[in-house]
Structure 1
Amino acid sequence: MAPGGLLPHSPALTYLAQIIQLAVAPVFLLAGLGAFLNVCTGRLARIVDRARTMEPDLLASRGKEHDRLIAEMHILDRRIGIVNAAIFATVLAALIISAVVVLLFAGFLSGYRFGTLIALLFIAAMISTATGFGIFLFETRMATRTMRVRTYVLEHQADED
């Protein structure tokens, strides 16, 4: 024992502390991706709710109103697919980042050098994250382009009592 009853610092313990420090950044990234996934799933839920709310109106409609509702339903269906793609890319990034953390510790425990693999996986995770964000940006732009308030609603005036 070292003076004062403390254990001496071993090289392995110091190296483990460095590995833990290296693993903290990807873990914070995982937390951020979790928050982003929460946003995506909330958006997906709102889109699905809107589609379900529209179904009875669509089935009861005729003429131009039916055509308008069908067009909106097609857009909602496409947006559902786009948000699902953003979720997929983001979950893939989270899985890859998890593999990076596992490899950091596996390398410490086994003595194998996974540096190149870890770097490549981290690059893949960043590409997947950027892809998820890009897809999400595309979906939000699509939503704002297609979901405008109709002119007759904006110009509607209440009847005088």
Structure 2
Amino acid sequence: MFTLPAVSTIAQTIQLSLSPVFMLAGIGSLLNVLAGRMSRVVDRARALEQLHPASTGPEHERHVWELRLLDRRISVINAALFLAVASAVMTCMVVALLFVAELAKLHLGTVVALCFILAMLLLIAALVAFLVEVRVSLRAIHIRPELLD
């Protein structure tokens, strides 16, 4: 016969799920930063795409160089966004599995642990991609030597 779990059992499960929920808040903040960076990169790319046809000589070459750089940044940010969202999904799975395991009296400890490890690995990969994007973006902000004379 199916019995309802005690309130204390549910309270303990909620306590267990707090860490992954805080992790979700951090991932949400990372997603916000990544989306903001993506929008700035896209805006800059659109502005350069309008300047590109009318430019010639060194200015044209600089526009092409920057457009290639922006294209690379868009790819890296897109990868970071994908990885961060995948990490958030896996973190949600951890929370859901904690409750399902407790309510259904299932022994899913190994599955929960593997999901959490995968969520952390995905988050680490997203942060590494973010770091790569920041490093790529720094290439574009160096002041050209001819402007410093």
Same fold by TM-score, threshold 0.5 exceeded? yes
Of the three residues 3, 20, 25, the one matched with 1:31 is 25
CA distance in structure 1 between the aligned counterparts of 2:36 and 2:148, rounded to whole angstroms: 28
Q: For 1:4-153, list aligned pairs within 5 A.
A: 12-153=6-147
Q: C-alpha displacement at 1:71, in angstroms?
A: 1.1
Deviations 1:83-125 (A, max 9, x none): 0000100000000000000001111111111110000000000
CA distance in structure 2 between the aligned counterparts of 1:11 and 1:118, rounded to whole angstroms: 20
Unaligned residue ranges in structure 1 (runs of 5+): 1-9, 156-161
Instruction: Return structure 1 stretches of 4+ with deviation > 3 angstroms.
Output: none
CA distance in structure 2 between the aligned counterparts of 1:110 and 1:56, rounded to whole angstroms: 59
CA distance in structure 2 between the aligned counterparts of 1:33 and 1:96, rounded to whole angstroms: 11
Over the residues paired in the alignment, what is the CA RMSD in angstroms? 1.4
Which residue of structure 2 aligns with residue 159 of structure 1?
none
Say which SS state the counterpart of residue 111 (structure 1) adopts: coil
CA distance in structure 2 between the aligned counterparts of 1:133 and 1:90, rounded to whole angstroms: 8
How many pairs were matched up? 146
Q: C-alpha displacement at 1:11, in angstroms?
A: 7.4
Which residue of structure 2 aligns with residue 6 of structure 1?
none
CA distance in structure 2 between the aligned counterparts of 1:148 and 1:135, rounded to whole angstroms: 21
CA distance in structure 2 between the aligned counterparts of 1:92 and 1:144, rounded to whole angstroms: 27
Unaligned residue ranges in structure 2 (runs of 5+): none
Larger Rg: 1
Q: C-alpha displacement at 1:13, in angstroms?
A: 2.1
CA distance in structure 2 between the aligned counterparts of 1:11 and 1:60, rounded to whole angstroms: 71
Deviations 1:27-54 (A, max 9, x none): 1110110011000000000000111111
- Structure showing greater relative contact order (alpha-carbon pairs closer than 8 Å, 6 or more residues apart): 2
Deviations 1:55-92 (A, max 9, x none): 12111011221111111101101100000000100000
Identity within the alignment, %: 45
CA distance in structure 2 between the aligned counterparts of 1:119 and 1:44, rounded to whole angstroms: 33
**TM-score, normalization by structure 1:** 0.86
